[in-house]
């Protein structure tokens, strides 16, 4: 039943992620352009260039803000990662650890050694 729930959540996350690929690409491009505009803005000494770069930066910032649904896509990708991690999680039970200790020769040696010392 737990796997079914993970499958449903993962399916919804995949649908959201696929539907927001366009906004994610738009936001990545906008933020890359904005990064280079800010970098040039900090390098330049000219007032006219700073004004021009500020205007370009505001336009690109508005473009990045219009791709706000990309945040849902990024959140869906994170949920998909969590579902994948939970799906592949291994469970260790006490019976597995008990059978491991029974097969371990050092544990048996210690038990036998203690039994021998109790008799003497």
Residue 3 pLDDT grade (very low, low, confident, very high; cuts 50, 70, 90)? confident
Cβ neighbour number for residue 99 with a 10 Å cutoff: 11
- Judged against a pLDDT cut of 90, whether residue 95 lies above it is answered with no
Q: Which residue has the tokens 């696929």?
A: 18
> What per-residue confidence (pLDDT) applies to 60?
94
> What per-residue confidence (pLDDT) applies to 22?
93
Q: What is the mean pLDDT of residues 39-53?
A: 94
| Percent of the residues in the chain that have a pLDDT greater than 90, as a whole number | 58
Cβ neighbour number for residue 7 with a 10 Å cutoff: 12
| Half-sphere exposure of residue 14: CA atoms within 13 angstroms, side-chain side | 8
0.75 exceeded by pTM: no
Q: Which residue has the tokens 């219009």?
A: 66
**Count of H-run helices and E-run strands, the chain:** 6, 0
- Judged against a pLDDT cut of 90, whether residue 26 lies above it is answered with yes
Is the Cβ–Cβ distance between 112 and 118 less than 8 Å?
Answer: no
Q: Tell whether the torsion through CA atoms of 68, 72, 77 and 82 is positive or negative.
A: positive
Q: Which residue has the higher pLDDT, 40 or 87?
A: 40
Is residue 44 classed as helix, strand or coil in its secondary structure?
Answer: coil
> What per-residue confidence (pLDDT) applies to 56?
95
Q: Which residue has the higher pLDDT, 97 or 1?
A: 1
């Amino acid at each position: 039943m737990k796997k079914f729930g993970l499958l449903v959540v993962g399916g919804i996350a995949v649908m959201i992620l696929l539907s927001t690929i366009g906004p994610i690409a738009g936001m990545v491009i906008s933020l890359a352009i904005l990064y280079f505009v800010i970098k040039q803005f900090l390098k330049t000494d000219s007032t006219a260039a700073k004004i021009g770069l500020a205007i370009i930066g505001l336009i690109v910032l508005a473009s990045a803000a219009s791709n706000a649904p990309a945040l849902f896509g990024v959140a869906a990708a994170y949920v998909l990662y969590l579902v994948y991690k939970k799906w592949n999680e291994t469970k260790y039970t006490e019976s597995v650890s008990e059978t491991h200790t029974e097969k371990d020769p050092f544990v048996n040696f210690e038990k036998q050694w203690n039994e021998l010392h109790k008799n003497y």
